[in-house]
């Protein structure tokens, strides 16, 4: 039984363990990563894995038909969908489908509807992936961290629902977002809460640390470049997805240096993100 807030403040780890309405762990991602890392993997093995989750299979097929994933002509089954993107693209496609299931819910505590949350995640994932490519970092890790960067908002929202709290958090804008209000109430932010959930689910240590350090990436010890990439990608997310806020302040120069991007490269980077984001808004809406 949850105690009345804010007098009882569980740690992020305790918080995620006591919630009873969180979605199930996306175990398929870890198995898929192992298949993707093996040179002996086949498309058939990937299909056999994905069909174990029928709801996910349907999402993968639907998303594979989008221009974002190279769709030209309709595919109707999972084998065709995976053949379309190939083994190199399947992790991105499946991560996208998993994220749409986990993230696409309205959050009353933040005044955010499902579509807004989804497109914030998409923009951040696309921005992080493009930054990783420019900085010779792991694109899949960056993409996953970007898509999952806001999952702690869901954790805290669920906690408040269970605690029967009507608390509403107000954003202090990039780079801190909702963190000041969350820390005032809970003692930590959605970054720490999200990292605790991803760790519980078994996501890679690099993704967990990047999500935990997304607001203060200097705190990252073992995965600094990915943390800097995510912190910088959140700037692009705010630029595209939070029109009511003023144009966000450019990320700290040391963030950019460690992420591997120069101010002079912002134009091409943002153009790439904008193209992907506009495609996503047109073709990859939640359904």
Contact call for residues 47 and 6 (beta carbons, < 8 A)? no
Of 87-91, 206-210, 230-234, where does mean pLDDT reach its minimum?
A: 87-91
Q: Of residues 248 and 111, which shows the higher confidence score?
A: 111
At residue 194, the pLDDT reads: 97
Which residue ranges make up each domain of the chain? 24-103, 104-287
At residue 176, the pLDDT reads: 96
Of 17-21, 27-31, 78-82, 271-275, where does mean pLDDT reach its minimum?
A: 27-31
Q: Of residues 271 and 82, which shows the higher confidence score?
A: 271
pLDDT band at 40 (very low <50, low <70, confident <90, very high): confident
For residues 231 and 209, give the distance between their C-alpha atoms in angstroms, rounded to a whole number.
Answer: 12
Q: Of residues 146 and 281, which shows the higher confidence score?
A: 146
Mean pLDDT within 26-41:
81
Peptide bond into 169 cis (omega under 30): no
Between 1.10.3210.10, 3.60.40.10, 2.60.40.290, 1.10.10.10, what CATH number should domain 104-287 receive?
1.10.3210.10
The DSSP line for the chain is -PPPTTT----HHHHHHH-SSPPPP-HHHHHHHHHHH-TT--HHHHHHHHTTSHHHHHHHHHHHTSGGGT--S---SHHHHHHHHHHHHHHHHHHHHHHHHHH-S-BGGGTB-HHHHHHHHHHHHHHHHHHHHHTT--HHHHHHHHHHTTHHHHHHHHHHHHTT---------TTTTTHHHHHHHHSS-HHHHHHHHHHHHT--HHHHHHHHTSSSGGG-SS-HHHHHHHHHHHHHHHHHH-TTSPPPPPPPHHHHHHHT--GGGHHHHHHHHHHHHHHHHHH----
Residue 244 has pLDDT above 70, yes or no: no
pLDDT band at 6 (very low <50, low <70, confident <90, very high): low
Mean pLDDT within 229-252:
88
As a whole-number percent, the residues of the chain with pLDDT over 70 amount to: 93
Residue 3 has pLDDT above 50, yes or no: no
Residue 1 has pLDDT above 50, yes or no: no
Of 18-32, 121-135, 184-198, where does mean pLDDT reach its minimum?
A: 18-32
As a whole-number percent, the residues of the chain with pLDDT over 90 amount to: 52
């Amino acid at each position: 039984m949850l105690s009345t807030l804010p007098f009882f403040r569980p740690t992020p780890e305790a918080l995620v363990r006591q919630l009873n309405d969180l979605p199930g762990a996306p175990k398929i991602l870890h198995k898929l990563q192992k298949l993707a890392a093996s040179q002996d993997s086949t498309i058939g093995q990937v299909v056999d894995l994905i069909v174990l989750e029928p709801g996910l299979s349907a999402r993968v097929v639907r998303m594979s038909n989008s221009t974002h994933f190279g769709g030209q002509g309709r595919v109707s089954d999972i084998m065709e969908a995976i053949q379309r993107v190939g083994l190199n693209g399947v992790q991105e496609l499946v991560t996208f489908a998993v994220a749409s299931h986990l993230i696409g819910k309205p959050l009353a505590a933040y005044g955010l509807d499902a579509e807004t949350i989804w497109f914030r995640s998409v923009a951040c994932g696309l921005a992080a992936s493009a930054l990783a490519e420019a900085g010779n970092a792991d694109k899949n890790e960056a993409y996953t961290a970007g898509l999952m960067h806001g999952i702690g908002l869901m954790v805290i929202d669920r906690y408040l629902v269970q605690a029967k709290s009507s608390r509403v958090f107000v954003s202090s804008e990039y780079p801190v977002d909702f963190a000041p209000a969350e820390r005032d109430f809970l003692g930590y932010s959605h970054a720490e809460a999200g990292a605790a959930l991803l760790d519980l689910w078994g996501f890679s240590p690099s993704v967990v640390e990047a999500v935990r350090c997304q607001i203060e990436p200097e705190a990252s010890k073992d995965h600094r470049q990915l943390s800097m990439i995510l912190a910088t990608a959140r700037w692009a997310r705010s630029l595209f997805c939070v029109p009511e806020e003023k144009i966000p302040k450019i990320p700290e120069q040391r963030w950019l240096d460690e992420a591997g991007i120069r101010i002079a490269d912002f134009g091409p980077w943002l153009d790439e993100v904008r193209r992907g984001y506009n495609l996503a808004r047109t073709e990859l809406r939640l359904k």
